[in-house]
Amino acid sequence: MSRRTAAVVAACALLGAMPASVHGHTPAPNRGRRRFYLGADISFLDVPAPPGHPRPGYREHGAPSDEMSILERHGWTAFRLRVFVSPVRQAPDNSLANTIQLARRIKATGALLLLDIHYSDTWADPQHQEIPVAWRGLSLPALENQVETYSRNTIRALKDAGAMPDWVQVGNEITRGMLWPVGQVAIPGSDQYLPPTPYDSVAQWAHLTGLLEAGIRGVREGAGSTPPRIAIHIDRGGDWATTKWFFDHLEAAHVPYDIIAESFYPPWKHGTLAQLRLTMHRSAERFHKDFLVAETGYGPSHVPYNPDMQWPITPNGRLAFMVDLVNTVERAPRGIGVMYWAPETDLWNADGTPGPAVFTLDHLGH
Encode pLDDT of 42-81 as tens digits: 999 988 776 776 777 999 999 999 999 999 999 999 999 9
d(CA 91, CA 166): 25
Would you state the pLDDT for residue 33? 57
Q: What residue ranges define each of the domains in the chain, with the CATH number in brackets? A: 3-363 (3.20.20.80)
CB atoms within 10 A of CB 288: 10
Pick the catalytic residue from 67, 144, 262, 295: 295
CA distance 25 to 358: 10
Q: How far is C-alpha 281 from the chain's CA centre?
A: 19
Q: Cα–Cα–Cα angle for 257, 263, 264, nearest 5°?
A: 140
130 labelled catalytic: no
Return the sign of the alpha-carbon dihedral for residues 170, 176, 178, 184: positive
| Interior/surface letters 126-140, b for 16+ CB within 10 angstroms, e for the rest | beebbbbeebeebee
- Planar angle of CA 275, 82, 120, nearest 5 degrees: 100
Query: Measured between alpha carbons, how far is 321 from 281 in angstroms, rounded to an integer?
Result: 20
Which pLDDT score is estimated for 56? 76
Q: Is residue 295 flagged as an active site residue?
A: yes
* φ/ψ of residue 269, rounded to 5: 60, 45
pTM of the prediction? Answer: 0.91
User: Which helix (H) or strand (E) covers residue 83, if one does?
Assistant: strand 78-83
Question: Of 67, 148, 173, 330, which is the active-site residue?
Answer: 173
Q: Give 89's contacts (C-beta < 8 A, 6+ positions apart).
A: 121, 122, 133
Q: For residue 30, give the 3-state DSSP assignment.
A: coil
- Tens place of pLDDT for every residue, the chain, 366 residues? 344 444 444 444 444 433 333 334 444 444 445 799 999 999 999 887 767 767 779 999 999 999 999 999 999 999 999 999 999 999 999 999 999 999 999 999 999 999 999 999 999 999 999 999 999 999 999 999 999 999 999 999 999 999 999 999 999 999 999 999 999 999 999 999 999 999 999 999 999 999 999 999 999 999 999 999 999 999 999 999 999 999 999 999 999 999 999 999 999 999 999 999 999 999 999 999 999 999 999 988 788 888 888 999 999 999 999 999 999 999 999 999 999 999 998 899 999 999 999 999 999 986
Q: Are 83 and 118 in contact (CB under 8 A)?
A: yes
pLDDT of residue 11: 43
